[in-house]
A and B are shown apart, each in its own frame.
Chain A
Amino acid sequence: DIQMTQSPASLSASLGETVTIECRASEDIYNGLAWYQQKPGKSPQLLIYNANSLHTGVPSRFSGSGSGTQYSLKINSLQSEDVASYFCQQYYDYPTFGGGTKLELK
């Protein structure tokens, strides 16, 4: 199985701040990476696929980048509705997820 290591596990940021979450794969996943947002008590929602493509309806303040084994999710100008947990997922092989990043407001 491809292991996904996500960091940080938790993050506290202020409104308007830029936030970056990292995800490292145990081997090259050739941009087969998705990011999901999960608000408390809700199901995950797709944000980004193919490492850097925005899913329909996702605000443009979200962006993804990376290649090989290293990927990141950036949130520009943090809004209160962005408080959530974020998960990366590789799909180069059978799907595996990162451990998640819990984002809170400072």
Chain B
Amino acid sequence: AQSVTQLDSHVSVSEGTPVLLRCNYSSSYSPSLFWYVQHPNKGLQLLLKYTSAATLVKGINGFEAEFKKSETSFHLTKPSAHMSDAAEYFCVVSGLSSNTGKLIFGQGTTLQVKP
């Protein structure tokens, strides 16, 4: 079975400091992994995705994530936080039956950015 665990439910950083949102996954085969962002009362927007190409994936708004198979991790980082980055972030793995497009969502990490 596949699963995804976001290790922190809440992360607080100061503006201009680095961001690290942690995600571990479990999969019996090489998965597709995603990070989505959700601002309050909005839908989800794709930040980036990993689909077995380069292990370091660059996304929008300066975010990037590194796929580490040995650690089963897909942590999201950004060198310098901006106030507009405050949102909820979801780590997502594609389901075993990938042709259905079923996704398995982590519990979410709320990112707070302090001025």
A binds B: no
Q: A-side interface residues toward B, CB under 8 Å? A: none
Q: B-side interface residues toward A, CB under 8 Å? A: none
